[in-house]
Every structure is written in C-alpha cells, then in structure tokens.
C-alpha cells in the first residue's frame, strides 16, 4: 500500500512539475487589452433549429427523427386509446400502455446517447485543429447536442403525461 501511495505521489509531483513548465512558457499580455467588437449575425446566416438538423450527421439525424416519431406516436397512441377505456378492451389498453412505456423509457437515454456522440466527435475535431477554434465554430455542435437532449426529454415527458392520463381514465372507469 505504501508503494502505491509513493508512486501516486511521485506521479502527481511529476504532473505538477510538467504543468509548471508549461505555465512558464506561456505568453502573458501586458498593457491594455482590446475589447472585442460584437456584431449581430445577419438573418440569412443565423443558426436555426432546422439548420442544426440539416447540418447534423446522418446518425444524429436518424436519432432526432426517431425521437420526433416517438413524440407523435405517443400522442396518437393516447388519442386512439381514449376510446377503448369504457369498452373493456383490456388487451388494447395494455398494448397502448406498453407502447407509451417504451417511448418513456427510451427517450432520455437515446437523446443523451446522441448528445454524447456529438460532443465526443466535436471534441475529437477540436483537438485536431490548431489554433483552437472559437465558440462560434463550436456552437453548432453544442446546439446539436442540446437539441438531442431536448427531444429526448420532450419525448419522455409527453409519453409519461399520456400514460398517466390514460391510467387515470382506466382507474376511473373501473371504479
């Protein structure tokens, strides 16, 4: 155990020494620093939700489309199942609840998986570019990841609301 502690301590000391050496080589700006001038991007060049989708990779487009289909399917299943509540169609209602549970369970993990993929590929691309890109270059990838997470959360939320409403209607009809 002591050997492990010593090797970890020596490793940390070596890393700190290397970090200090890099910091010594850094260039420091002295004197007044120019304030950047910000301009608004023209309307034709602005990033939109549609633009984020169109510029996404095919894998991410597929996941975003699946999440959008899940959102629409949840509402359609819920609407079609409302008529079955009073007619004692237990098999149809069980199938509807099962479909809603699938969307509920898959929405967030699928959205997070897409966001993680986008972030990973973005970080790989950033690490292979010198000088480091600005936030303007990185922003579309961040927007794509945020869109994937948002659609995953939206699909899950809509499926949960539809499922809970349908379960409540079933309970009231059974009472």
Residue 139 lies in a domain: yes
Average pLDDT over all residues of the chain: 82
The stretches of 27-89 forming alpha helices (DSSP H) are 49-54, 58-82
Interval 150-174 mean pLDDT:
90
Residue 118 lies in a domain: yes
Residue 4 lies in a domain: no
- Give the per-residue pLDDT at 7: 55
Residue 17 lies in a domain: no
Total count of domains within the chain: 1
Using 50, 70 and 90 to split pLDDT, how confident is the model at 152? very high
Residue 35 lies in a domain: no
Interval 82-105 mean pLDDT:
85
Region for 42 from its dihedrals, namely left if φ exceeds 0, alpha if ψ lies in -120 to 50, beta otherwise: beta
pLDDT tens digits, one per residue of 95-138:
888 999 999 999 999 999 999 999 998 888 888 888 888 888 88
- Give the per-residue pLDDT at 85: 79
Q: Is pLDDT above 90 for 13?
A: no
Interval 151-174 mean pLDDT:
90
Range of the domain at 57: 47-174
Distant-in-sequence, close-in-space partners of 101: CB < 8 Å, separation ≥ 6: 159, 163
Residue 42 lies in a domain: no
Residue 156 lies in a domain: yes
Residue 2 lies in a domain: no
pLDDT tens digits, one per residue of 15-69:
555 555 544 555 666 767 778 788 888 888 888 889 899 988 899 999 999 999 9
How many CA atoms are closer than 13 Å to the CA of 67, on its beta-carbon side? 28
Give the chain's end-to-end CA distance (angstroms, integer).
65
- Give the per-residue pLDDT at 122: 87
């Amino acid at each position: 155990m002591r050997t492990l502690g010593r090797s970890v301590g020596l490793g940390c000391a070596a890393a700190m020494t290397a970090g200090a050496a890099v910091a010594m080589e850094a260039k420091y700006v002295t004197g007044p620093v120019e304030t950047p001038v910000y301009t608004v991007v023209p309307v034709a060049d602005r990033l939109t939700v549609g633009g984020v989708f169109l510029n996404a990779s095919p894998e991410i487009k597929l996941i975003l489309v699946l999440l959008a289909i899940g959102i629409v399917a949840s509402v359609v299943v819920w609407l079609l199942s409302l008529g079955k509540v009073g007619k004692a169609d237990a098999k149809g209602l069980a199938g509807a609840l099962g479909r809603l549970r699938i969307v509920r369970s898959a929405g967030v993990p699928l959205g997070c998986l897409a966001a993680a993929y986008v972030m990973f590929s973005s970080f790989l691309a950033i690490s292979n570019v010198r000088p480091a890109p600005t936030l303007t270059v990185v922003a579309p990838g961040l927007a794509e990841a945020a869109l994937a997470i948002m659609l995953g959360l939206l699909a899950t939320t809509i499926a949960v609301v539809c499922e809970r409403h349908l379960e409540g209607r079933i309970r009231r009809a059974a009472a």
